[in-house]
Structure 1
Amino acid sequence: MLVLLPPSEGKTAPTTGAPFTLEKLSHPTLNAHRRAVLDVLADVSARPDALELLGVGAGVASDVERNLHLDGAPTAPASSVYTGVLYAAAGLDALRPAAAERADRSVLTISALWGAVAPGDLIPAYRLSMGTLPGLGKLATTWRPHLSGALDARAGGDVVVDCRSAPYAAAWKPPADADWVAVKVVREVAGVRKVVSHNAKHTRGVLTGHLLQRPGEPTSADELLKATEELVGTTVGTEVGSGLHYTLLEAGLSASGRGPRTLELLIS
């Protein structure tokens, strides 16, 4: 099993911890391109129009300032730095030892800055989305050959559980011999199934945590479906604002002519 996650937009900045160095990250074949992106990001972040170039508002100016000093910055495991809805639901930073070990070999966050990191990789907080970076162009395009070289062999012959959003999915396509499955979360409204957004992140996180903590790992799409069906009928989250609980009603697997198969999760 290989679970692919997007990074969270919000990140918790470590104030203590080992100084950052590329050499401590997994997938060292990515380090040359990581260095190239780091250097360009520092240059762009130092410009007067940095916020505009990075597509962010004044409220995260301190995050952009942090981009200038990533080398040697305090680090924490990626599972603690990424703190968005999906990561909170997955509980990656609070797993028992056996599940944490499974996560480190089976979970990858696809990142605009690092390419790919495991939950235990020590990283600083940063600000960069998978868009266009002046001097490098479209980051998904620049990462694609590097991620293919680093990850194709790992994914081959295994089931790839793809929880990424579209910009991060564009950075790497699993090889043809992988059982590639994209996770889609829907609600039924007036007989029509519609994709949901915020609750989708939370539900994907719940699924990730379940796959890491249950006995055994799925090795195919069919086994993934059976593992997911273990959650049917359970409460998988609470609506923000209303406090209403929502439940996983059904899980189904469908195929498409091209691209990944789809694991569709119907929530109440």
Structure 2
Amino acid sequence: MLESSERIEAKMASTNISAEHITKVYQARKKQTVAMQDCSIQILENEFVCIVGASGCGKSTLLRMLAGLDFPTEGTITVNDKPVTGPGVDRGMVFQGYTLFPWLTVEQNLQYGLKLKKMPKPQQDEIVDKYLKIIGLSNFRNAYPHQLSGGMKQRVAIARMLANSPEFLLMDEPFGALDPITKARLQVFLREIWRELRPTTVFVTHDIEEAVFLATKIYVLSSRPGRVKAEIPVNLTYKRTLDLKDTEEFYAYYQQIEKLIQEN
């Protein structure tokens, strides 16, 4: 029997990530650019949250602040009730660009963080084998990134992040550069990983269809300066296949979000 996102949300225990009244101002010589203003979001344990909005609304800026790679001008960001002061091993990040080490094989890329932790080799091998199987690339363990397709590279990047057991996955348009067919396949792939492992996930995208397909909750940001225009729970089937995109229920969410973005 399939579970709905409403039932999953009932299991969520607490707020894991909180951004309260975030304002971000960039200073360039005598000019100030307000990227975000009074933006607040709450992300609960095990949620899959997508952040959408027009280009330049601050989606990636907000994600970078959650990761500790940038900081708000005003407001507070906490993870598990602790202020974010920089990057942490509890937060893994995947970018749109392919960030694999080109001089390392697939297996070595997955091992990289585990070696930094000084994990015993047998345990490293067990974890690498597990994630190579999950991403379906066991036969490519000795391949180098230049020998992989774009979709394969992103699967490896996701697996490398997961191998380090982060509590939170932060993803900045990771499928944005892929062709539509590969992108759709990786959406299913990521959703299945989330169903199995249940990491708390924050996913930035400009693609409304992608957001509706992946998310349990969507934040819609206004045009610059970015503010939260709407918080939308996505009460669709828990197990999702690409056929879901052809349903009236799916299209209703799409239209609602598209209208909110166009109203900016």
Same fold (TM over 0.5): no
User: Larger relative CO (CA 8 A, sep 6+): 1 or 2?
Assistant: 2
Q: TM-score, normalised by structure 1?
A: 0.30
Q: When the two structures are superposed, what TM-score results if normalisation uses the length of structure 2?
A: 0.30
